[in-house]
Amino acid sequence: MKRTRRLRTTKALRNMVREHYVHPSDLIYPIFVIEGEDIKNPVDSMPGIYQYSIDRMDEELERIWNAGVRGVLIFGIPAQKDEVGSGAYDPHGIVQEAIRYIKMNYPGMIVIADICLCEYTSHGHCGLICGEHIMNDETLPLLAKMAVTCAQAGADIVAPSDMMDGRVKAIRDALDNEGLYEVPIMSYSAKYASAYYGPFRDAAESAPAFGDRKTYQMDPANAKEALIEVEADLLEGADMIIIKPAMAYLDIMRMISEKTNVPIAAYNVSGEYSMVKAAAANGWIDERRIVMENLTGMKRAGAKMIITYHALDAAGWIREELREY
């Protein structure tokens, strides 16, 4: 008889032979920064998540730093929006100023700038519009300009999430033209048109005013198409890729990890977070065990990094686990 249980008899033995671990350095925590002063707005659909004005960000940044999480993904919410999303690429826009603040006060923090127009446009779409058509090529220079201004403000990484064709090349060329050769691109290469994004759109105030994003985000029914997207982004200069969402797309993560050699980030998105929070609040699940099982599943599927709203809780649980050894 093959006795596979022999290696499960004690916690110490299970830890010794464990294949995958989640470490605080794997985690990236999203932050929502809003224009204004003395603002800490709760996001009702995402328990424990807030919009912060820059003068209140230290409350969150100290928690992040003390938790041992060293990566943050920044989303900006401007006071004014317009048809062309001008706040996105304003050198002194909300996200650019937030980046400067973080790098000045927490120089060891890795700051990732989300590059997209949706939070800044009056219509809520990720690109320029003509009627109800989202224009691709006309959007690219604005995304490139946003990436440059964020990098000049101090962003360590730029992460285009818009899903316009050709945006990675446009951003790489623009960065290189400004001498920003060393700023890597973490591209949302396989970003699906998912129902899991609802709570995020409350937090980022980015719901589209008309239609949906199915003409530019990927069809959830398609797997092989993700390979085409990833290959295109890598050829255009992407250094890392993001798979979004995570839980319903672990097969995509595994497939991509087997086909490429670049670091993969899983985005454990708002809907996934809020469902866990709601079930835990009702006493239906063990939140700690569920979260760590989910995050471990993402690592097992091939993710090197995990963008997650659970990051601070997870980092605390990991530290507790290490103390018990």
Q: Which of 81, 145, 169, 244 is catalytic?
A: 244
Q: Which two tokens stand for residue 321?
A: 């686990």
- Whole-angstrom Cα distance, residue 151 to residue 35? 20
Secondary structure letter of residue 41 according to DSSP: E
Tokens 């992460």 belong to which residue?
Answer: 159
Query: How buried is residue 254: exposed, middle or buried, by Cβ count under 10 Å (0-12/13-18/19+)?
Result: middle
Secondary structure letter of residue 177 according to DSSP: H
| 277 in catalytic set | no
* E strands in the chain: 27-34, 40-42, 50-52, 71-77, 110-115, 129-130, 133-134, 157-160, 186-191, 240-244, 264-268, 305-308
Tokens 């601070």 belong to which residue?
Answer: 312
Q: Which of 145, 191, 277, 299 is catalytic?
A: 191
- Whether residue 241 contacts residue 186, with contact meaning beta carbons closer than 8 Å, is answered with yes
For residue 199, say if its preceding peptide bond is cis, omega within 30 degrees of 0.
no
Query: How buried is residue 167: exposed, middle or buried, by Cβ count under 10 Å (0-12/13-18/19+)?
Result: buried
Torsion angle of the four alpha carbons 73, 79, 80, 81, in this order, in degrees rounded to the nearest 10: 30
Indicate the angle between helix axes 167-177 and 224-236, nearest 10 degrees.
Answer: 20
- Whole-angstrom Cα distance, residue 155 to residue 298? 26
- Whether residue 160 contacts residue 216, with contact meaning beta carbons closer than 8 Å, is answered with no
- Whether residue 174 contacts residue 149, with contact meaning beta carbons closer than 8 Å, is answered with no
| 11 in catalytic set | no
Catalytic residues, by residue number, are 191, 244
